[in-house]
Amino acid sequence: MPELPEVETVKRQLEKRIVGKRISSIKILSKKQFLGNFQKTIGQQIDRLWRRAKILAINVGRLTLLVHLKMTGQIIYLSKNRKPISVGHPLPFSPNQLPNKTTRVIIELEDGSRLFFNDLRKFGWIKLLDGDKIEKELSGLGPEPLEKDFSLDYFSKKLANTRRMIKIVLMDQAVVAGIGNIYASEILFEAGINPARQANSLSNREVANLYRAIKKILLQAIDYGGTSAADQAYIRPDASPGRYQNKLRVYQREGKECFGCFGKVKRIKQANRSTFFCSSCQQ
DNA sequence: CGGAGTGTTAGTCG
DNA sequence: CCGACTAACACTCC
């Protein structure tokens, strides 16, 4: 789930609570998932949070913590009075039961609040990097879809250049950064384009529609605080991981009625991943 | 019980 | 360049 809108939500929620605070300790429970010497961060102040693609970045003095939640990562903020905010994979948790068995890293701040990095499947990671190492880490990523350098001109050239299926291209982080399996399906439905179409077969008009759909869907999803896994009705009062799952129009709606016609939503496999679409609304 | 499927991505091979 | 496949891992569902 943690695609661009989810990570952006994590960033916005977290920065309000942790910027300006110093790190007092880091506990690493899963060694493979933390790269770098964590001791360099002790006593350092958190200056700024930012996001690049699906990666959350936390500036700590001269260093930066990069966090990738991959499939099942989750970040939970627990203040001293135990009010949690969490975004990421919505595994149920009780603030009274943290750390839990999926907790991989615990970052403790000077005011007694804590960040829990939970990750069921252990694909996610935290990397402590400085200077050009950061640039190197992020160098393979294409433009941010909501920033200026992602222009219609750039996008059409990229699409014209490849015969790959359009859904695969949308998820290619080197073409445009931050779109994953959920939003790729949603964006293509919004644009009325069949996910199996070859990218270079799209007309100018279709490319323009797709370009608009990318921005529209991502902005909308951020507005809703991202998507909790569609098959898990996990909503917390003050730790709400997002409400966009109620807005999904095709993702995980196989066999259900299309919102655009009387047909049914279909599911196919592309590159071994599920794609959801309406074969009549998306040509 | 076994096997498939799950939000990601890096890598290899042909 | 590109598609197919695999590997990281843990758990649920059928």
Q: Which two tokens stand for residue A22?
A: 């110093």
A208 CB below 7 A from strand C atoms: no
A3 CB below 7 A from strand B atoms: yes
The pLDDT score that the predictor gives to residue A228 is: 76
Instruction: Report pLDDT digits (tens) over A190-223.
Output: 999 999 999 999 999 999 999 999 999 999 999 9
Helix (H, G, I), strand (E, B) or coil at A138: helix
Q: What DSSP character marks residue A261?
A: S
The pLDDT score that the predictor gives to residue A109 is: 96
Q: Which two tokens stand for residue A44?
A: 């350092």
- Measured distance CA(A5)–CA(A192) in Å, rounded: 21
The pLDDT score that the predictor gives to residue A233 is: 32
The pLDDT score that the predictor gives to residue A93 is: 62
Instruction: Report pLDDT digits (tens) over A57-85.
Output: 999 999 999 999 998 888 888 888 766 66
Calculate mean pLDDT across residues A9-24.
Answer: 93
Helix (H, G, I), strand (E, B) or coil at A199: helix
The pLDDT score that the predictor gives to residue A74 is: 87
Instruction: Judge whether residue A232 has pLDDT over 50.
Output: no
The pLDDT score that the predictor gives to residue A179 is: 96
- Measured distance CA(A56)–CA(A49) in Å, rounded: 7
User: Which is the catalytic residue, given A2, A5, A84, A145?
Assistant: A2
User: Which is the catalytic residue, given A3, A6, A8, A206?
Assistant: A3
- Closest nucleotide to residue A124 (Cα to C1')? B8
Residue with tokens 């859904």: A167
Residue A54 annotated as catalytic: yes
Q: Which two tokens stand for residue A129?
A: 């990097």
Residue A273 annotated as catalytic: yes
Instruction: Judge whether residue A240 has pLDDT over 90.
Output: no
The pLDDT score that the predictor gives to residue A2 is: 86
Helix, strand, coil distribution of chain A in percent, nearest 5: 30, 25, 45
Query: What is the rounded average pLDDT for all residues in chain A?
Result: 89
User: Which is the catalytic residue, given A54, A158, A167, A266?
Assistant: A54
Residue A110 annotated as catalytic: no
Identify the weakest region by mean pLDDT among A111-125, A149-163, A177-191, A231-245. A231-245
Domains of chain A: 4-138 (3.20.190.10), 152-277 (1.10.8.50)
Pick the closest to residue A128 from A45, A54, A39, A30 (CA basis): A39
The pLDDT score that the predictor gives to residue A243 is: 83
Instruction: Report pLDDT digits (tens) over A133-147.
Output: 999 999 999 999 999
A39 CB below 7 A from strand C atoms: no
Helix (H, G, I), strand (E, B) or coil at A267: strand
Q: Percentage of residues in chain A with pLDDT exceeding 90?
A: 73
A227 CB below 7 A from strand B atoms: yes
What CA–CA distances, in Å, run from A221 to A4, A167, A187, A274?
Answer: 9, 18, 11, 20
**Enclosing H/E stretch for A128:** strand A125-130
Measured on CA atoms in the order A169, A271, A245, A262, is the torsion positive or negative?
A: positive
Instruction: Report pLDDT digits (tens) over A21-42.
Output: 999 999 999 999 999 999 999 9
Calculate mean pLDDT across residues A107-126.
Answer: 93
More confident residue, A229 or A97: A97
The pLDDT score that the predictor gives to residue A96 is: 62
Calculate mean pLDDT across residues A98-120.
Answer: 92
Residue A114 pLDDT grade (very low, low, confident, very high; cuts 50, 70, 90): very high
Residue A3 annotated as catalytic: yes
Question: Torsions phi, psi of A220, nearest 5?
Answer: -65, -40
